[in-house]
Amino acid sequence: MATPARRTLQSFPITPGSAAVTGFAGLLALACLLGGSFPGFFWLAVIAATSAIIGNRKAKRAAELYRIRTLRSTEIARYHAMAPTEFEHAIAFLCQRDGCSNVQVVGGAGDLGADVIATTPDGRRIVIQCKRYGPTTKVGSPDMQRFGGTCWSVHRAHVAAVVTTSVFTKPAANYGVQHGIRLIDVSALGGWATRTGPAPWM
């Protein structure tokens, strides 16, 4: 069975321009080490300044994109309009937004039930299955059993959760409770997204 490609979520800079300033200082130091000849120093200084400006602009742009994505992450209606793969990435972003590290989207053929894997802020391994279902399709007991068969033994989860834009059937909910799987239905997802409710690992 093919192993799904692991896509690590990009981390956005929180302090724009810090990397650019470091690069600027590094190039200036290099110029000094080269002997301080005026022409060489001048052009290295120009390059350093240009690099710092470009780097600062890129950092600001990335920070602005992160800010916009964070605002959009609180709009629960967006999750209902997403394709399944988009939903997986959206859930991964929520994990990153709320302090998780090593966030990976692993859903796809051969994923063995895991769609998102991350390390929680307190160091635990969380494995999430994402179910982007319509309002008339519920997460059933077979869905839960397939995930329950791999989340602990295969993926070595410390925390296992199923996140859906719908709800769970009663047998599915019972299975989750019996096997320690966190159930995040559309209501709980709304709370997580808007920060009025807990994240799945809390």
Fold for domain 83-194?
Answer: Trna Endonuclease; Chain: A, domain 1 (3.40.1350)
What pLDDT was estimated at residue 152?
A: 96
Q: Among the listed ranges 51-60, 67-76, 138-147, 185-194, which one has the minimum average pLDDT value?
A: 67-76
SS3 at position 128: strand
SS3 at position 72: helix
User: Which tens digits make up the pLDDT trace of 54-107?
Assistant: 667 767 666 665 665 565 567 778 899 999 999 999 999 999 999 999 999 997
What pLDDT was estimated at residue 165?
A: 95
What pLDDT was estimated at residue 14?
A: 42
Helix, strand and coil percent figures for the chain, each rounded to 5: 50, 15, 40
SS3 at position 184: strand
Work out whether strand 125-131 and strand 182-184 pair parallel, antiparallel, or are unpaired. Answer: unpaired
- Quote the Cα angle for 171-130-189, to 5°: 80
What pLDDT was estimated at residue 56?
A: 73
Average pLDDT of the chain to the nearest whole number? 81
* The pLDDT of residue 7 is above 90: no
Full-prediction pTM beyond 0.75? no
User: Which tens digits make up the pLDDT trace of 9-42?
Assistant: 555 444 444 444 455 555 555 555 555 555 655 6
Q: Read off φ and ψ for residue 39, nearest 5 degrees.
A: -60, -45
Work out whether strand 182-184 and strand 159-164 pair parallel, antiparallel, or are unpaired. Answer: parallel
Would you list the domain boundaries of the chain? 18-72, 83-194
